Amino acid sequence: MPIASEESGRITLCPDYGSAWGLWSDSPLSAPKAGELLTPTHFQFSEDLTAALRLWIDQWRLNYADAPETSSPSWRYGFDRESWAKDGDEIARLIGEELSGFEVDRLYRLYLKDPVRSSDVE
């Protein structure tokens, strides 16, 4: 069921090394405590959306954020990053459904421009 919003808001969906959930917004439904990063709870996401987001973020961590310190940011060889981005598009769509009045920025798509590691780099 969509959450009615008196005001429109904006949420950016973008995994990041310092954020467990990749959620960024100046207008969450409930404000985080000082120094706390945003979580699905701040937006009252459904359990299904939260689970999908967790799996999607975990895929990013396992296939992008795991790059060796000696290499530039890159995707693991053989990982289907286009499929990962499509999953992100579905999550963004679901966020838009659940947060009526919120616009979802799909900043995660910027990661698609980063290279794929050669197969011999672990």
pLDDT at 91: 99
Q: What is the pLDDT of residue 1?
A: 40
Q: 35: exposed, middle or buried (C-beta count within 10 Å: 0-12, 13-18, 19+)?
A: exposed
The partner residues of 103 in beta bridges, in order of sequence, read: 10
For 9, counting Cβ atoms within 10 Å of its Cβ (0-12 exposed, 13-18 middle, 19+ buried), the class is middle
Is the per-residue pLDDT at 106 higher than 90?
A: yes
- pLDDT tens sequence across 24-65: 999 999 988 888 999 999 999 999 999 999 999 999 999 998
Against a cut of 0.85, is the pTM above it? yes
- 95 versus 120: the higher-pLDDT residue is 95
| CA angle, 50 then 56 then 60, to 5° | 140
Instruction: Report the share of the chain in percent with pLDDT over 90.
Output: 72
